[in-house]
Structure 1
């Protein structure tokens, strides 16, 4: 795998783009803290961009299955870079509306890029290498987040917000350059004519496949539980910072969670060799709920950091496993539409959780909210466990060995 130039190009591009993304995210939080006092309004602003990704999801899925995945990744990378121009206007005018326009274009381009990337990965490595590559890819993404947030925090004290976004623009342009050098053999994908015929129904063609493969359905539902935490992640960090009256805790939380995520993603291949995928999904889903409950003591720095460490490690193990199941069980000629559908579903749930988080933070406060979310996560996990046991939704032994080998 490490001799494959495409792997290095994707990982390098992901790292550079991740730096740009998190420079922008920290910039967004800084801009909103200055302009928007309400957590619920902050959530509404962030949700505005997510709506664009949801609306464009079906089109992104069809085009990914019909056309060149490299071209889609390249064009979406360029659009992502151009979207930063709207943020420059927002800074100059002090207008939150222009920030919403920026988020719409940013999320719209992401709606094309990520399904194409997930569909391209199985085409550049062997199936037995997928779990390892997914883990490494998520590690690189997390490393860029840790470094990006740290750099952004430092840069905001040294340079203007506009210059921070300028660096984000450069990173997105470098992603486009890296994508240009990809060489993907798409001859293994069904012919364009065949895919076109299957694409006429859009997501309607994917639903019967999901329904006919219970493991995919189970895993798709299980991925909603981490989103209950991830959806309001940035708002949680802001409120913990205010609760502890500490700006530094933001950096500690992002760093601790990021490192824990990388450790989990690094160890998942070894964990997958000893435990079934079924056990991995449910164990770490339950631990995510425990991490949420721990934040009831968010006023204590050590406990709040420990909660994010537990969450980061759990998600680092959970997501590479889930993505590998999707890539190996879903037929390749449906990858574009499936990953686009999953991306759209994630965005809808993310948006709902974001709005609910902002609403509850204003209504009942951080500590009561995380108890409510933690109980919900553990009860959902228990309910799904009972359901899957009742319907015997286990992955066969030979599939576990194939995925983890």
Structure 2
């Protein structure tokens, strides 16, 4: 795998783009904190981009399955690059509306980019290398997040807010350059095992495929549990910063969570040798709830950082495992539409969680909200476990004795 030039191009591009992405996100939080006092209004502004992604999701899935993945990645890269112009205008004019335009365009680009990237990975590495590749890709993204947030913190002290977005623009331009060097063999794309051209229908065709592969459907539902925390992540970080009266805590939180995520994504390969996939997913979904409960003590810096470390480690074990199930058990002909559907579903959840968190923070406060979220996460984990046992769904992705499980 490590001799594959495409692997190095994707990982290098992710590192560079991640630096730009996270310097921009810290810039967004600073801009919102300065211009918008209400948490609910902050949530509304952030949710507008998610709504645009939800609307474009079905179209994105169909286009990704019908087009070359490299072409989609390049066009989406241009969209990302162009979107930064709106944020530079927002800073120069002090207008939140330009920020709204920025959020919409960058989310639309992401709606095409990430499903295309997730569909590309199985085309460039062998099935046996998928867990390693997913873990490394997430690790690189996490390293970029830690480095990007640290860089943004330093830049905000010495430079202007606009400088963060110039860094983002440079990073997105470099990502575009890396993407153009990809070589993806898509000659067999759109053909079944008999070599016949497959008919590519609409986005709705994902649903019968999910019924035919219940393990994929169950895993997809399971990934909604961490989104309760992730959807409100940025608002929680802003609130903790205000509770502890410290702007530096933002960078520390991202750093602790990011490092713990990287450790988890490395350790999960060892864990899979002793634990079943089912145990990994349900145990670490429960640990996300534990992290939420720990934030009841958000005024204590040690417990706060420990909570985000628990979250990061849990996600580092949970998401690479779930991604392998998606990439191995879902037929490749449906990858574009499936990953677009997954992204759209995540955006719907983010939308609901973001708006709910904004309202809870304004009305109830952070400590009450995290207890409510923790109870919901534990309840959902138990409910999904019961459903899995009742329907006799097997999540194991390492079973190789039944190669017939594919739709032709």
Cα 1:97–1:212 shift into 2, 3 Å: same
Mapped to 2, the partners of 1:334 and 1:71 lie a distance apart of: 18
Question: Which residue of 2 is the match for residue 345 of structure 1?
Answer: 345
Question: Which residue of 1 is the match for residue 225 of structure 2?
Answer: 225
Mapped to 1, the partners of 2:375 and 2:316 lie a distance apart of: 22
Match of 1:186, SS?
Answer: coil
Mapped to 2, the partners of 1:334 and 1:106 lie a distance apart of: 25
CA deviation after TM superposition for structure 1 residue 198, in Å:
2.2
Mapped to 2, the partners of 1:144 and 1:114 lie a distance apart of: 16
Cα 1:332–1:28 shift into 2, 3 Å: same
CA deviation after TM superposition for structure 1 residue 188, in Å:
2.9
Query: How many pairs were matched up?
Result: 400
Which runs of structure 2 are paired with 1:238-249 in the superposition (5 Å)? Answer: 238-249=238-249
CA deviation after TM superposition for structure 1 residue 46, in Å:
0.4
Which runs of structure 2 are paired with 1:43-54 in the superposition (5 Å)? Answer: 43-54=43-54
Cα pair 1:11 1:140 within 8 Å, conserved: yes
Mapped to 1, the partners of 2:52 and 2:318 lie a distance apart of: 27
Question: Which residue of 2 is the match for residue 369 of structure 1?
Answer: 369
Cα pair 1:14 1:141 within 8 Å, conserved: yes
1:386 aligns with 2:393: no
Question: Which residue of 1 is the match for residue 270 of structure 2?
Answer: 270
Question: Which residue of 1 is the match for residue 7 of structure 2?
Answer: 7
Cα pair 1:65 1:195 within 8 Å, conserved: no
1:100 aligns with 2:97: no
Mapped to 2, the partners of 1:110 and 1:396 lie a distance apart of: 30
Question: Which residue of 2 is the match for residue 177 of structure 1?
Answer: 177
Cα 1:401–1:86 shift into 2, 3 Å: farther
Mapped to 1, the partners of 2:114 and 2:174 lie a distance apart of: 17
Which runs of structure 2 are paired with 1:156-195 in the superposition (5 Å)? Answer: 156-191=156-191
Mapped to 1, the partners of 2:32 and 2:400 lie a distance apart of: 45
Instruction: Report the TM-score, using the length of structure 2 for normalisation.
Output: 0.95
1:139 aligns with 2:139: yes
Runs of 5+ consecutive residues of structure 1 not aligned to the other structure: none
1:253 aligns with 2:265: no
Mapped to 2, the partners of 1:400 and 1:274 lie a distance apart of: 18
> Once superposed, what is the RMSD of the aligned Cα atoms?
1.6
Cα pair 1:273 1:401 within 8 Å, conserved: no
Q: Deviation per CA, 1:234-274, whole angstroms, max 9, x where unpaired?
A: 11011111111122221211100000000001111111122
Cα pair 2:328 2:397 within 8 Å, conserved: no
CA deviation after TM superposition for structure 1 residue 191, in Å:
4.4
Structure 1 ranges of 4+ moved more than 4 A: 191-196
Question: Which residue of 1 is the match for residue 406 of structure 2?
Answer: none
Mapped to 1, the partners of 2:252 and 2:111 lie a distance apart of: 30
CA deviation after TM superposition for structure 1 residue 384, in Å:
0.8
Match of 1:242, SS?
Answer: helix
CA deviation after TM superposition for structure 1 residue 33, in Å:
0.9
CA deviation after TM superposition for structure 1 residue 395, in Å:
3.1
Runs of 5+ consecutive residues of structure 2 not aligned to the other structure: 403-408
Q: Determine which structure has the larger helix proportion and give its number.
A: 1
